[in-house]
Chains A and B, each alone.
Chain A
Amino acid sequence: MSKDKVGTRTDFPPTPPEFLPEQQPDHPVTPYLRMERIPHVWCPGCGIGTVVKCFATALERSGADLDKVSVVSGIGCSGRAAGYLKLDGFHTTHGRAIPFATGLKLGRPELEVAVFSGDGDLSGIGGNHFIHAARRNMDLLVILINNFIYGMTGGQNAPTTPLTAKSSTMPFGNFEAPFNIPHLAASCGAPYVARWTCLHIRRLTWAMEEALDRKGFRLIEVIAPCPTLYSRLNKLGTGLNGMRFYHDNAEIRHGADTRELDIDFQKSITCGKFVDEERPTFLDQMNEHYGQVLGEKYVPMSPEGGWLHG
């Protein structure tokens, strides 16, 4: 479009193509998505869809039995992921994905339960559950999408908003120290902790695949652009600018000391796998403890949840 034509576009807003799922050329992760719910709500340039795609690919590569994978999310733009993945799951109340997921895991120990939610949901209003699930090493894979802001409600300050960054409730810039999410998880005992950005598609997918293979409280923080709010309020450009920024400023340091993973406004972002250890999970510890204390009287729940199901 030539410059003088700007403002005279007649195709705006563009009409979405007439949509019949069965006519669409299949995207490789189509079988993992609820195609009837597409188009999704995410803005152009948003990073969340990328994370969903990586997760679906990781599931495919891991060969997981999809009947045994469940996704639980809280509320937020990131929380919408549970509704688009064609897996059993639920969209819980704001901040409470981890307790719901804990109940699910304890009721059906054979399930792989993944929690998929935002920085505000998991580290703000639901922060308490996050630290306690890590402390008891609850067997959950937690994917925390950090866009440094509350996206869904319109760009308010989050516990992850970097110092000096602007948000709608800190219009003169944030002065509260943000959480260092990997350090928070690691210091509460999480045995698997990694951070990637939306640009690191392959590494993120590998990390998810690897984490699916581990046990206990596994945290993957994914830094994602929110062009509509965080980038706009801070004049950081489009989603593409966000990707360029990650390209130029993400630094991979596997095994880095988690104390050094703070994210400053528009400074480097350290990515990598920081913790990968073995630690007995909640269920391991419970079974062992009751086995010792109660002896034969204790009958651990069978891996199939003691349920006859078909």
Chain B
Amino acid sequence: MPTELITGNHAAGYALSASGEANRKARGAACGIYPITPQTEIVEYVAKFPFTKGRVVPVESEHSAMGVSIGASLAGARSFTASSSNGLAYMVENIMVAGFYRLPIVMVAVNRTLGPPWNIWADQGDTLMLRDFPWLQFYCETNQEVLDTTILAFRLAEDHRILLPTLVAMDAFIVSHTMAETRLPEQWLVDSYLPPLDLPHRMRHAHPTTMGGLAWPHETLSHRVEVDEAMRRVPTAYDECRRLFDSTFGRDPGAAIQTFETKDADSILVASGTIATTAREVVRRRRADGERLGLVKIKMFRPFPEVEIRQACCSASKLAVLDRNYAAGVGGIFWQELRATFQGHRDDLLIQNYLTGIGGGDVTPAVVDEVIADLALRDAAAPPVWMGITLGEEVH
């Protein structure tokens, strides 16, 4: 397996293309693509890929890109696309349709601040706005993790127990444009990991169906219940896909949550994406000084891995949730999930929210140190703390 120095976008482009190519013995790959900074290299990679049986259409908008991918998927092709920020916002209607059609489309999203004001840097507000849709969501930290998770996502999404679209996210520029050594699996390995797509409800002459017709409330209700049941099967299916990935490629794409020094930790940082990378190093350094700190990195956001998180934090009395996103009027979105996770289970646990790196600001080790210092002084949770700004001063 060759190791190359490539960007996160290149890793994603490679994974999407190789996965699409792996379906050449069935109905091939087909998708619509539309560029947006900082995702552009992904769709350019896909557009240049010499698919044996593949069609890539550079359409006129994100809405159409997802539309094309939906049609292709219903026709039995392996389908995927990529987007970011306002592109995702514009695509929203069809993102929802892909989920409720139960189509195993894989989308790579590069987390970029939603405008206005226009800003191209990292912020998870774009993919988290999709959190109530029937999509699985994974947040990645490194180029290798992006590549591995994207390939795994196809197997998971296409599993007949699941049949839900899957989103793989990475931070703008910090991952998308940073080169790192990445192992690129050969096509035959990807072929062996991804069997030909067999979508049970694909269009067939023998059974003409009309998708998306009008439904009565009770029919819609059972449709939603089925989505919920599929979501509940994800953790088991994910672990199976992960083990098979490891035995095929010799690498673990990573558990739903990844813990670091949590066993006897008194205070635990909770983070996702590249903030977890920085936080891990801070925890490592401060552990060496004898502090009982730990880290939980959340990789799987939908479905939310509640049970695993509760287990990982059982020794802690305080959690600091670092959110690179902001839900207006509430606070950090991961923080809300964390509070819901512990509600009724650990009412003694102090869960404090830190809004940091919003709009693409750097979350440096010094920022994480500040978070830890702030957490140490608290004996009760307060409203979310905005890092990098002194409230009370006039903000221009």
Contacts and interface: CB of A to CB of B under 8 A. Distances in A.
A156 B118 CA distance: 21
A66 to B, nearest CB: 24
19 contacts: A93-B86, A94-B90, A124-B61, A125-B34, A125-B61, A152-B37, A153-B36, A153-B37, A154-B35, A154-B44, A156-B40, A156-B43, A157-B58, A168-B44, A169-B33, A169-B43, A169-B44, A170-B58, A171-B47
Contacts of B61: 95, 124-125
B340 to A, nearest CB: 32
Contacts of A171: 47-48
Interface of B: 33-37, 40, 43-44, 47-48, 56, 58, 60-61, 86, 90, 115-116, 118
A91 B117 CA distance: 9
A68 to B, nearest CB: 25
B88 to A, nearest CB: 12
B115 A169 contact: no
A75 B86 CA distance: 11
Interface string A22-54: 000000000000000000000000000000000
A280 interface: no
Given A125-B60, A153-B35, A169-B33, 6 more contacts: A124-B61, A125-B61, A125-B90, A156-B40, A156-B58, A159-B60
A168 B118 contact: no
- Max chain B CB contacts within 10 Å: which of A125, A152, A167? A125
Nearest to B47: A169
A169 B86 CA distance: 20
B176 to A, nearest CB: 13
Contacts of B58: 156-157, 167, 169-170
Given A93-B86, A93-B115, A153-B40, A169 B60 contact: no
Contacts of A230: none
Contacts of A168: 44, 47
Nearest to B33: A169
Contact of A94 (B43, B47, B86): B86
A91 B60 contact: no
B60 A127 contact: yes
Given A93-B115, A124-B61, A156-B58, A170 B47 contact: yes
Interface string A138-182: 000000000000101110110100000001111100000000000
Contacts of B48: 171
Contacts of A125: 34, 60-61, 90
Which 7 residue pairs across A and B have the least CB separation, nearest first?
A169-B58, A125-B61, A169-B47, A124-B60, A153-B35, A157-B58, A156-B35
A157 B259 CA distance: 44
A154 B58 CA distance: 14
Contacts of B90: 93-94, 125
Nearest to B48: A171
A91 B44 contact: no
Contacts of B115: 93
B281 to A, nearest CB: 33
B35 to A, nearest CB: 4
Contacts of A75: 118
A154 B40 contact: yes
Nearest to A90: B116
A168 B116 CA distance: 27
Contacts of A150: 35
A157 B40 CA distance: 12
A300 to B, nearest CB: 33
A156 B44 contact: yes
A153 B58 CA distance: 13
Contacts of B60: 124-125, 127, 159
A169 B118 contact: no
Contacts of A167: 58
A153 B47 CA distance: 15
A206 to B, nearest CB: 32
A157 B48 CA distance: 13
A92 B338 CA distance: 36
Contacts of B44: 154, 156, 168-169
For B33, B36, B47, B90, the residue with the greatest tally of chain A CB atoms inside 10 Å of its CB is: B47
- Which of B36, B40, B56, B86 counts the most chain A CB atoms within 10 A? B40
A171 B48 CA distance: 6
Nearest to B87: A94
A253 B116 CA distance: 42
Nearest to A159: B60
Contacts of A95: 61
A93 B36 CA distance: 13
Nearest to A161: B58
Interface string A85-125: 00000010111000000000000000000000000000011
Contacts of B86: 93-94
A94 B115 CA distance: 10
Looking at A150, A167, A168, A171, the one whose CB has the most chain B CB atoms below 10 A away is A168
